[in-house]
Amino acid sequence: MSLIAAGEPRQKFTIASLREKKFHHQPITCLTAYDYPSARLVDEAAVDMVLVGDSLAQAVLGHDNTLSVTMEEMLHHTRAARRGVKHALLVGDMPFGSYQVDAAEAVRNAARFVKEAGAEVVKVEGGEKRADLIRRIIDAEIPVAGHIGLTPQSVNVMGGYKVQGKSLSGVEQLMRDATALDRAGVAFIVLEGIPREVAALITAEVQTPTIGIGAGPDCDGQVLVIHDVLNLTFGPPAKFVHRYGDMKALIANAIQAFRDDVAGRRYPTDEESYHLPKETRTALETVLERKQAMRR
Ligand code: KIV
C-alpha cells in the first residue's frame, strides 16, 4: 500500500489513478476549492482531486442554492483553481442549465471547461437519465463524473435537501442510476446524501470509484466542501460535516485586531513604514526650515 504523505514527491493523479486506488482499496480524497490559494493548499496537502463545485454559489458567492451560478462564473473560478493545482485531478462542475437543455450545447459547455479553464474532468448531476448525454461528452474525449442521490440542482424537484434512497423503490432507483453511470464509463460517481447501507451496496456493485458526501464510510473516497471543513459558513452544518479548523474565528479575530490597532494608532509602526534616504531627508529639512524662516 502506498499512501503518500503531504510534502512527499508525488505523481500526477489521473483518472487511471482513481481505478487503481479502488482496486487496491486505498481511500480517495477530494475537496472543493474555488480559487488559487485554496486550490494550491489542497494540492500541496496531497489531496487526490480538487473539485470546483457549483457549491461556489453558496460558499463564495452568497446565493441560497446552486441554481443561479453561471458557466462564466464556473469557468472564472476553475481557471483560478487551475493555477494552483499541479498534481491533483481538477474537476469542474457543470452548472444548472449548462447540460440539461440540449446535448450539443452540453458537449460545447463541457469542452469549454477543458479548453478555457483547464479542467480534466467535468461533473454532471443525475443517473440513468444522463447516461446518453454522458456517453456523448466522453465521445468528445472529455472525462465525466456522475453525481447521484441528493443532487442539489434538483432541489425544487426533491422539495428540499432530503436524504435520498430511504425506501426500497428509492434504493432500486439509486442502484439503476449507479449501474447506468458505471456502464456509461464515468470516471467516478459522487454519492451524496444517501444511507450508508445503500452507498456500501453501490460501491461493492460498480467498477467505478464512488466518492461519498453524507454517504457514510464505505465509499471508495470522500469529498467535502472546503468552507465546511474550515468553518467558513454561516448556517448550521449538515450532519456529515466534520470541522477540521476554525477559519471563521481566525479571520474574525485578525480583522478585529487590525481594526483595534488602527483605531488605537498602534498600526502601522515606524518599522512598518518606508523612510526617505538620508540625503533626501537632509535636503528636505533644509527646504522646510527655509520656508518656515520666510513665513516669520
Ligand atoms: O458542488 C459541490 O461542491 C459538489 C460536492 C458536494 C460533491 O458537487
CA of 2 to the centre of ligand 1 (A): 27
Is 111 in a helix, a strand, or coil? helix
197 in catalytic set:
no
Residue 32 CB less than 6 A away from ligand 1: yes
Q: What is the mean pLDDT of residues 259-280?
A: 98
pLDDT score, position 1: 42
Q: At residue 83, does pLDDT exceed 70?
A: yes
Identify whether the C-beta of residue 200 lies closer than 8 Å to the C-beta of residue 221. Answer: no
Q: What is the mean pLDDT of residues 160-171?
A: 98
Grid cell for residue 207: 467498477
Crossing angle of helices 131-139 and 103-117, in 10° steps, is 50
Q: Which amino acid is at 189?
A: I
pLDDT score, position 2: 46
pLDDT band at residue 6, thresholds of 50, 70 and 90? low
Please, what's the largest Cα pairwise distance for the chain? 96
pLDDT score, position 4: 57
Asked, as a colleague might, if the bond just before 152 is cis with ω within 30 of 0, I would say no
Residue 125 CB less than 6 A away from ligand 1: no
Q: Which bin fits 161, alpha (ψ -120 to 50), beta or left (φ > 0)?
A: beta
Q: What is the mean pLDDT of residues 49-62?
A: 98
pLDDT score, position 10: 84
Is 221 in a helix, a strand, or coil? strand
Q: What is the mean pLDDT of residues 86-112?
A: 98
Residue 93 CB less than 6 A away from ligand 1: yes
Residue 54 CB less than 6 A away from ligand 1: yes
Q: At residue 7, does pLDDT exceed 80?
A: no
CA of 263 to the centre of ligand 1 (A): 41
Q: Which residues contact 125 (CB under 8 A, 6 or more apart)?
A: 147, 148, 151, 152, 153, 154
Q: What is the mean pLDDT of residues 124-147?
A: 98
Residue 210 CB less than 6 A away from ligand 1: no
Per-residue pLDDT tens over the stretch 215-245: 999 999 999 999 999 999 999 999 999 999 9
- Mutating to test ligand 1, I would choose from 51, 90, 144, 230 the residue with most ligand atoms within 8 A of its C-beta, which is 51
Q: At residue 29, does pLDDT exceed 80?
A: yes
Identify whether the C-beta of residue 165 lies closer than 8 Å to the C-beta of residue 201. Answer: no
Is 212 in a helix, a strand, or coil? strand
For cell 487496491, name the residue: 24
The pLDDT mean for the chain works out to 97
b (16+ CB within 10 A) / e for 276-295: eeeeeeeeeeeeeeeeeeee
Q: How far apart are CA 52 and CA 81, in angstroms?
A: 7
Q: What is the mean pLDDT of residues 100-105?
A: 98
Per-residue pLDDT tens over the stretch 276-294: 999 999 999 999 999 999 9
Q: At residue 3, does pLDDT exceed 90?
A: no
Q: How far apart are CA 33 and CA 51, in angstroms?
A: 6
Give the lowest-confidence range in 6-10, 167-171, 288-292: 6-10
CA of 154 to the centre of ligand 1 (A): 13
Q: Which of 103, 52, 53 is nearest to 80 (CA)?
A: 52
Q: How far apart are CA 171 and CA 238, in angstroms?
A: 22
Report CA Rg, the chain. 25
Distance of CA 178 to the CA centre of its chain: 22
| Percentage of the chain lying above the pLDDT 70 cut | 97
CA of 150 to the centre of ligand 1 (A): 10
Q: Which amino acid is at 55?
A: S
Grid cell for residue 167: 425506501
Q: Can you name the residues that pair with 148 across neighbouring β-strands?
A: 191
For cell 444522463, name the residue: 130
Residue 223 CB less than 6 A away from ligand 1: yes
Catalytic residue, chosen from 20, 128, 192, 289, is 192
Residue 85 CB less than 6 A away from ligand 1: no
What ligand 1 atom has the least distance to the C-alpha of 152? 8
What ligand 1 atom has the least distance to the C-alpha of 59? 3
Q: At residue 8, does pLDDT exceed 70?
A: no
Q: At residue 103, does pLDDT exceed 50?
A: yes
